[in-house]
Amino acid sequence: MRAWILAALAAQIVCPDRAEAGTGRIERLIAEMSPAQKAGQLAMVSFEGRALSDAQRDFVLGTRPGGVLLFRSNCGSPAEMAHLTGSLQRLATGEIGGPGLLVAIDMEGGSVRRFSPGGAFTRFPPAIMIGATDDPDMAARVGRAMAEELKAVGINMNLAPVADLETRRANRVLRGRSFGSRPARAASMVAAFVWASQRAGVLACAKHFPGHGDTAVDSHRGLPVLHLDRQALARRELVPFRRAIEAGAEAIMAAHIWLPAIEPQEGRPASLSAPALAGLLRGELGHGRLVLTDALGMAAVRSGHTLDRAARLAIAAGADLLVFGEAIPIREQAAVVEELARAIRSGEIPARRVDRSLRRILAAKARFGLLRPAPVDPRRARARLESEAHRRLVERVFARAVTLVRNERGLLPVRPGRPAILVHFERQRALADALERALPIVERVALSRACGPAERERAARACESAAVCLVLTRNAVSDSAQAELVRSLPPERCAVVALGSPYDLLVFPQVAAFAAAYMPIPEAGAVLADVLRGRRRARGVLPVPLDDLYPAGAGLRGPISRSGSR
Q: Active-site residue among 106, 134, 164, 294? A: 294
Question: Cβ distance 48 to 74 under 8 Å?
Answer: yes
Cα three-residue angle 407-413-417, rounded to 5 degrees: 125
Whole-angstrom Cα Rg for the chain: 25
Report d(CA 249, CA 162) in Å as an integer.
12
Cα-Cα-Cα-Cα dihedral of 347, 349, 352, 354, to 10°?
A: -130
Report d(CA 453, CA 455) in Å as an integer.
6
Question: In Å, how far are 169, 198, 216, 218, 226 from 223, measured between CA atoms?
Answer: 18, 32, 10, 7, 10
How far is Cα of residue 289 from the mean position of the Cα atoms in its chain? 20
Report d(CA 88, CA 44) in Å as an integer.
13
Q: Active-site residue among 218, 220, 308, 377? A: 220
- Give the Cβ contact number of residue 441 at 10 Å: 18
Q: Bridge partners of 468?
A: 420
294: annotated active-site residue: yes
Strand duo 43-45 + 290-293: pairing: unpaired
Question: Cβ distance 376 to 87 under 8 Å?
Answer: no
390: annotated active-site residue: no
- Give the Cβ contact number of residue 465 at 10 Å: 10
Q: Which amino acid is at 530?
A: D
- Give the Cβ contact number of residue 275 at 10 Å: 19
Catalytic residue numbers read 220, 294
